Structure 1
Amino acid sequence: MDPAEVTPSPRTTGPRTTGPRAAGPSVRSRALSGMIRLGARPFVHRVPGGAGGIRTARSTVDAASLLMRHTSRVRVTPLSGPRTGTGRGEPVRGEWVVPREGGNADGTILYLHGGGYVVCSPRTHRPITSRLAVDTGLPVLVPRYRLAPEHPFPAPLEDAVAAYRWLLARGVPASGIVLAGDSSGGHLAAALAAEICRTGLPPPAGIVLFSPWVDLTCELSIRAQNGARDPYISARSARRIARLVVGPDGFGDPRLALLTCAWDDAPPVLIQVGGAEVLRPEAEALADALDRAGASCELQVWQGQMHVFQILNRVLPEAGAAMREAARFVRSATEGPEAVA
């Protein structure tokens, strides 16, 4: 039996929660967590807030991404297309990640990469986006949205809305679009879904959130800090980055607050979160908020896993299983339950 296979375990109330069948994380997972705790975590905690420090961090992350090669079963092509329904002159930029075989042109995954809203790019997240393309057969559009602190919120949301409008104008039906994102990209994907509802755009088929950064004030994660063993991030470093994201206007923009959104008309949602990560309470709070609104939400807590462990899907058995679960959800959302059989 694959130690990372999952078995549904319904909660007595609220969204269904699933997780690894095994008693604990795999040997590979424990080893990698230890390496990341010693290597990446000190770097993340010391990223300066000035422009020079942020530029250095971006260059370092982009260089490190070259070590995580994506599968040859996809082709990656750049995108630069005109915006639709907006006064901004800049085009929608990013990249397409398209399966080389068996692609389905009737749908699209709109993927919003993580990185705390300050670092990373479409290229850094190709291990996730290429796996989604191969497992679902759908092309994945990954926009290059503007980053803080040069462009604080809501600039990233404006760019995400522009990418969604661009897909609709290109003829992709909303019923074939799944929004997805990790960490801050998970926050952005959820904020995009709420903005789509608020502005009356046709809703997407579903939403996939990997380790979403739900609460940029970090109140929930700060409370959980002492009990979490996430080898990658801490609540205190997340809150320091959040101050760069919101800019001089602070946390008052209601589009930042996912837990108080009106989720009544939300499409089906899949949330995956690592059991060891400090953002777990935020993911659970969002699942509860969706459940109270009557939305369909599936929450998966993966025992012993760190923040955005899915990016290691070519190495960790748990990450590979999590990506298969995400593909199952995407197929169900875009093609109907019969496509999952």
Structure 2
Amino acid sequence: MDSEKTPLHMKLVRRTTEQKAAAEQRRLAPMMRALKAIHSATSPESMAPDDLERQRSGQELLGRLAAPMLGMSWEPFELSGMNAAWVRPDRGHDKRRAILYCHGGGYTSGNLGYSRPLASKMANVTGWEVLSFEYRLAPEHPFPAAVDDAMKAWDYLMYQGYGARDVMVAGDSAGGNMALVLCHRLRAAGRRLPGRLILMSPWTDMTASGKSYAERADIDPTISLDYIKAVRSAYARDADLSSPLLSPLFGDFTGFPPTLIQVGSNEILLSDSIRLRDRMLAARVPCQLEVWNDVWHVFQMFPIKKANQAMESIGRFLLEQF
């Protein structure tokens, strides 16, 4: 009897699993369309106005669709002419430490609305306040405008009385690039570095020399090499793409803070994370790399189980250090 029932039971379980997967795909479809719009480009040599507008509109939409966590306050303000916002947990929280969050978008798109979901999630898992800022975008404001704005946000936190080690810097995609470049610039100026780095799908190599740019091209649902070429041209112009201020992968990581890197297994940027981990470890930097299977670029933003698990891992990485 049991052997006769087992196949039917297995069929029911399989059908239920397939139905749940289909329901999740339908729920995520609008977000995936918005994400695809952000990371699209028709010309590998330039940032066409229509492409740029589609990317920026898509990012605004994605920020609205990926709603922020409940229990957070959103406090926008002007930081020396730059739009910025604090995310603060409504519950009692540790005000001694903060996270400086650098949003992604290929240096050509992004705004406070797009920053809101991930900033809220990081505030939720740590109980710390998170500062987001709306840095200037290319092609209107090419390199190094964006990182100059990141330095402005960093200096603001120092003026607020935070010690450098009490500020964690987090970034996704181009924001991960920015977080690393910020550290390179701080060290070059003889200044103290942040306490920790959180890098989600970081873009570390503008030369696109990693194997995954070709090996993952057919399975990456959101980013193409044409997009990479378009945004790097808009941002870097004629600058040397191998410079650590554009491709931080090629810099010296001696003295960098402990770092957590998260990346999806299906990303063309996978090599950027693997090679960064290897170079950091070679420089004796404590570095953890988490490769999350079967997910896409900056999956942490989405309302899925793996995103929640990844954010919990970020919380553990930060909180266990103090």
Answer yes or no: is 1:326 the counterpart of 2:321: no
Aligned ranges 1:235-254 → 2 under 5 Å: 235-251=225-241, 253-254=243-244
Q: Amino acid of the residue matched to residue 134 of structure 1?
A: N
Q: 2:159 aligns with which of 162, 169, 178?
A: 169
Q: Counterpart of 2:301?
A: 311
Answer yes or no: is 1:70 the counterpart of 2:60: no
Indicate conservation of the 8 Å contact 2:204/2:272, yes or no: yes
Q: Distance in 1 between matches of 2:62 and 2:35?
A: 11
Q: Residues 51 and 38 of structure 1: is their aligned pair in 2 closer, same or farther, counting only changes over 3 Å?
A: closer
Q: 2:249 aligns with which of 259, 265, 270?
A: 259
Question: How high is the TM-score relative to the length of structure 2?
Answer: 0.85
Larger mean Cα displacement after TM superposition, 230-239 or 204-213: 230-239
Q: Distance in 2 between matches of 1:29 and 1:243?
A: 39
Q: Residues 61 and 254 of structure 1: is their aligned pair in 2 closer, same or farther, counting only changes over 3 Å?
A: closer
* More relative contact order, 1 or 2 (CA 8 Å, 6+ apart): 1
Larger mean Cα displacement after TM superposition, 58-67 or 41-50: 41-50
Q: Counterpart of 2:138?
A: 148
Q: Residues 32 and 204 of structure 1: is their aligned pair in 2 closer, same or farther, counting only changes over 3 Å?
A: farther
Q: Amino acid of the residue matched to residue 231 of structure 1?
A: P
Q: 1:31 aligns with which of 11, 21, 25?
A: 25
Q: Counterpart of 2:15?
A: none
Q: Counterpart of 1:208?
A: 198
Q: Counterpart of 1:300?
A: 290
Indicate conservation of the 8 Å contact 2:89/2:127, yes or no: yes
Q: Distance in 2 between matches of 1:235 and 1:221?
A: 12
Q: Counterpart of 2:259?
A: 269
Q: Residues 32 and 225 of structure 1: is their aligned pair in 2 closer, same or farther, counting only changes over 3 Å?
A: farther
Q: Could you tell me how far 1:238 is from its partner in structure 2?
A: 1.4
Q: Counterpart of 1:41?
A: 36
Q: Counterpart of 1:193?
A: 183
Answer yes or no: is 1:110 the counterpart of 2:104: no
Stretches of structure 2 lacking an aligned partner (at least 5 in a row): 1-19
Indicate conservation of the 8 Å contact 1:270/1:298, yes or no: yes
> Identity percentage over the alignment?
30
Q: Distance in 2 between matches of 1:177 and 1:296?
A: 17
Compute the RMSD of aligned alpha carbons. 2.4
Stretches of structure 1 lacking an aligned partner (at least 5 in a row): 1-25, 83-90, 336-341
SS at match of 2:39: helix
Indicate conservation of the 8 Å contact 1:291/1:297, yes or no: yes
Q: Distance in 2 between matches of 1:319 and 1:181?
A: 15
Indicate conservation of the 8 Å contact 2:39/2:227, yes or no: yes
Q: Counterpart of 1:180?
A: 170
Q: Could you tell me how far 1:192 is from its partner in structure 2?
A: 0.8
SS at match of 1:219: coil
Indicate conservation of the 8 Å contact 2:41/2:230, yes or no: no
Q: Deviations over 1:66-101 (max 9, x none)?
A: 22221221000112234xxxxxxxx44311111110
Q: Counterpart of 1:286?
A: 276
Q: Distance in 2 between matches of 1:298 and 1:190?
A: 15
Q: Distance in 2 between matches of 1:98 and 1:301?
A: 29
Q: Could you tell me how far 1:143 is from its partner in structure 2?
A: 1.2
Q: Counterpart of 1:59?
A: 57
Q: Could you tell me how far 1:161 is from its partner in structure 2?
A: 0.9
Q: Residues 30 and 243 of structure 1: is their aligned pair in 2 closer, same or farther, counting only changes over 3 Å?
A: farther
Q: Could you tell me how far 1:253 is from its partner in structure 2?
A: 4.2
Q: Deviations over 1:22-50 (max 9, x none)?
A: xxxx9479837994777753673346723
Q: Distance in 2 between matches of 1:51 and 1:236?
A: 15
SS at match of 1:80: strand
Indicate conservation of the 8 Å contact 1:136/1:331, yes or no: yes
Indicate conservation of the 8 Å contact 2:133/2:153, yes or no: yes
Larger mean Cα displacement after TM superposition, 281-290 or 52-61: 52-61
Q: Residues 156 and 77 of structure 1: is their aligned pair in 2 closer, same or farther, counting only changes over 3 Å?
A: same
SS at match of 1:307: coil
Indicate conservation of the 8 Å contact 2:170/2:176, yes or no: yes
Q: Residues 93 and 225 of structure 1: is their aligned pair in 2 closer, same or farther, counting only changes over 3 Å?
A: same
